[in-house]
Structure 1
Amino acid sequence: MQKKLPLLITTGEPAGIGMDVVLLLAQEGKLQDFARPIWVTAEAEAMQARADKLVAAGVLTTCPPWQTITAQVNADDFVEQIAQQTDASNNDNKYTFVLLDIPCGAPVVAGHIDINNALMVAQQLEIAHQMASNNTVAAIVTGPLQKSALIDAGIKLLDGTMFSGHTEFFMQQSGCDKVVMMLANQAMKVALVTTHLALKDVPAAITADNVRQTVQIVIDDMREKFGLTQPRILVCGLNPHAGEGGHLGTEEIDIINPVLQEFINAGVDISEAMPADTLFTPRHLANCDAVIAMYHDQGLPVLKSHGFGDTVNLTLGLPYIRTSVDHGTALDLAGRGGASATSLYQALTMANEMVGKSLINRPLYKSVP
């Protein structure tokens, strides 16, 4: 039987709860739910210290066993070392996960950021990208990082700009011109045309190219990564009542609907712009695989109201699967208890499901130029 590729978890900021939530799932035996190896990037010394701290606090009953792989800090060397150790390759019941040891620049103190550890955080992401790109791992599941720490440490993206987050990092590393943020839970999947923009800046960002690229990426990934050969997509208008025939705004008439009509003409099952207060009702959502919202607070509050704890952040448009927890570093909880591992479990679950449903290079419709 062919071995299943691992899911790779990056624990992110070592002072935060990234290691805590991995340890919680390991103790509960939930990392075995995915029937494939689980690899984790963290510093081995810091992981052991965090486990000991959580045991002392009564959060863990015992330290879960893991296998530590020490190598040069690059993907190829880790893979070579893992290949030489059958326990890591087979992921037998002796270990709950395989730890890829990435040394920090300074001692890790739970709850206290040290910018000397920012390089280690960036190295986790570089290794994850390399392993996903060459199909060493099936998917990346990212834990929380502290963007301010990487910025203060002078960590840059490939284009020389300041570090602005996981999404931009993986987009540039993969050579993508655009990616799409999608949040998903059991109730719905919502993708965004614009993300973290001031509301006053949103209308200018709703261009034909931006809408077209967003829709194309959503359709491609719903097909290729969710296995939906004919995804059903609903699209929010920008304005109240989708512009009320131009009386409350003309973006729907001038920009959004002409682009959507291109996709309709190409055989895509997609709506024209709909009023958001009509779209987000059970009757419409029951016949929908994904929603595209024009801006952040148009779509995400509705989604999170239907399942805040089990929401997963996805990056669509990458050449591999990447899911993420939907919470921050929670520095005040690190090593003390109180952190919930639900979001990490849901991110792993969705990544594993996407791997199983992925349909690569299965033609369905012509792309809109």
Structure 2
Amino acid sequence: MTRPLSTSNKIPRLAISAGEPAGIGPDIVLAAAQRDWPAELVVIADQDMLAARAELLGLTVNLRPYDAAAIQTSRGHSLSIIHEPLAVPAQPALADSANAGSVLAALKRATQGCMSGEFDAMVTAPVNKAVIADSGVPFSGHTEYLAELTASDQVVMLLAAKELRVALATTHIPLSQVPESINPPLLLNVLRVMDADLKSKFGIVDPQISVLGLNPHAGEGGHLGMEDIEVIIPALKQAKSEGIQVSGPWPADTAFNPRLSPQTDAYLAMYHDQGLPVLKFASFGAAVNITLGLPIIRTSVDHGTAFDLAGTGKADPGSFFAAVESAMELIKTFAKAE
């Protein structure tokens, strides 16, 4: 799918969702306004909520109405805003499921704008899955929701911190469901998406993917579980036959060692808490969540809503800044690939 850039002068326009209004999403978005960006940051959120949070935090910000016809770089404590009203006023740390509809509407508006070429990428602040689920809307995460909005068959969650990239075969499911959820077709599709997007969005000509085993010691030859032999290896053989540069399955406890890491452009972990603790230990607060397999660019933070920090001025915006910077880099690479 060809996505026209929103501007002819190469100034990117990013759609920003402020996430859960009772969490730190508004705080870190407002922190971004304290910096100058070579892009237009268009925040989709309740304007009154952002103004009130800025006052609480003692931050100066100019929330100017979004003008689709005129690009305005985000400089001088300014943000463009598309007003998405909340159902009830938001208070820091006091989540209300009545506002879930507004949170989802912001994500939908950002996605539609990216699909049409109005925006070049979207950057999302954290949402709270439980709050949205309590509103009666089934919701397992940004990744799955955006896949549905874009009618994408296979999406992949990848977290990146500089040269370390970790993708997930399964995302937000109980650990007990992981063995039954992975199968050769799933893993093959994930590897295809990784290979394609590492080329098109990251500009890696011949990506090298290292796959982690499911069981301790990658199954120890079948003595510690058969999934590595019966599920993962067949997927790797098929991927190799298609020209995908893949290796493994590697024992997860030794895969991130200095010998293998320099030869790896991205790791594929079987489940959420298998690979992400390593990445977050190495770079918590500076990692970026990137959704592969979408026809658009979407980046996000590597953390949750942190209700206890909302409105206190103690929230670290580092991951959000990294997500914005990553989105701008991906825009350049993706445009070249097209």
Same fold at TM > 0.5: yes
Deviation at 1:207, TM superposition (A): 0.7
Q: Which residue in the other structure is 2:103 paired with?
A: 121
Structure 1 residues 237 and 115: CA distance shift in structure 2, 3 A: closer
Residue 65 of structure 1 corresponds to which residue in structure 2? 62
Distance in 2, Cα, partners of 1:240 & 1:151? 34
Superposed CA RMSD in Å reads 1.9
Pick one of 215, 239, 260 that aligns with 2:236.
260
Q: Deviations over 1:59-102 (max 9, x none)?
A: x3xx1223134xxxxxxxxxxx432xx4xx23374563211111
Structure 2, unpaired ranges of 5+: 1-7
Q: How far apart, in 1, do the equivalents of 2:124 and 2:271 lie?
A: 23
When residues 200 and 19 of structure 1 are mapped into structure 2, their CA distance, relative to the original with a 3 A threshold, is closer
In the TM superposition, residue 191 of structure 1 has moved relative to its aligned partner by: 0.7
Q: State the SS of the aligned residue for 2:26.
A: helix
1:36-75 superposed Cα distances (whole Å, 9 cap, x missing partner):
21111111111111111111xxxx3xx1223134xxxxxx
Change (3 A) 1:275 1:25: same
Say if 1:187 and 1:303, in contact at 8 Å, map to a contact too: no
* 1:74 aligned residue: none
In the TM superposition, 1:1-369 aligns within 5 A as 2-27=9-34, 29=35, 31-32=36-37, 35-55=38-58, 60=59, 63-69=60-66, 81-83=67-69, 86=70, 89-91=71-73, 93=75, 96-154=78-136, 156=137, 162-358=138-334
For the residues of structure 2 that align with 1:328 and 1:168, how far apart are their CA atoms?
A: 16
Following the alignment from structure 2 to structure 1, what is the Cα–Cα distance between the partners of residues 116 and 294? Answer: 13
Separation of aligned partners in 2, 1:112 and 1:183: 29
Alpha-carbon distance in structure 2 between the residues aligned to 1:265 and 1:147: 39
> For 2:140 and 2:208, how far apart are their aligned partners in 1?
32
What is the deviation of 1:219?
0.9
Aligned equivalents of 1:5, 1:198: Cα separation in 2:
38
Comparing 106-115 with 310-319, greater Cα deviation is found at 106-115
TM-score (structure 2 length as normaliser): 0.91
Letter of the structure 2 residue corresponding to residue 287 of structure 1: Q
Distance across 2 between alignment mates of 1:100 and 1:192: 33
Q: Specify every segment of 5 or more residues in structure 1 that has no aligned partner in the other structure, as ranges.
A: 70-80, 157-161, 363-369
Number of aligned residues: 331
Indicate how the Cα distance of structure 1 residues 341 and 302 shifts in structure 2: closer, same or farther if over 3 A, else same: same
Is this contact kept in 2: 1:179–1:317, CA < 8 A? Answer: yes
CA distance in 1, matches of 2:250, 2:315: 38
Distance 1:193 1:221 in 2: 15
Aligned to 1:366: none
Structure 1 CA distance for aligned equivalents of residues 183 and 304 of structure 2: 31
CA distance in 2, matches of 1:146, 1:44: 20
The one-letter amino acid paired with 2:85 is P
The residue type paired with residue 13 of structure 2 is: P
Letter in 2 for 1:17: I
Cα distance in 1 between the residues matched to 2:223 and 2:78: 59
Change in 2 beyond 3 A, CA 1:342/1:281: same
Identity of aligned residues (%): 42
| Cα distance change on mapping 1:272 and 1:336 into 2, 3 Å | closer
User: Aligned partners of 1:17 and 1:135: how far apart in 2?
Assistant: 29
Whole-angstrom CA distance in 2 between matches of 1:67 and 1:45: 12
Would you say the 8 A contact 2:129–2:141 is kept in 1?
yes
Paired position in structure 1 for 2:3: none
CA distance in 2, matches of 1:218, 1:98: 33
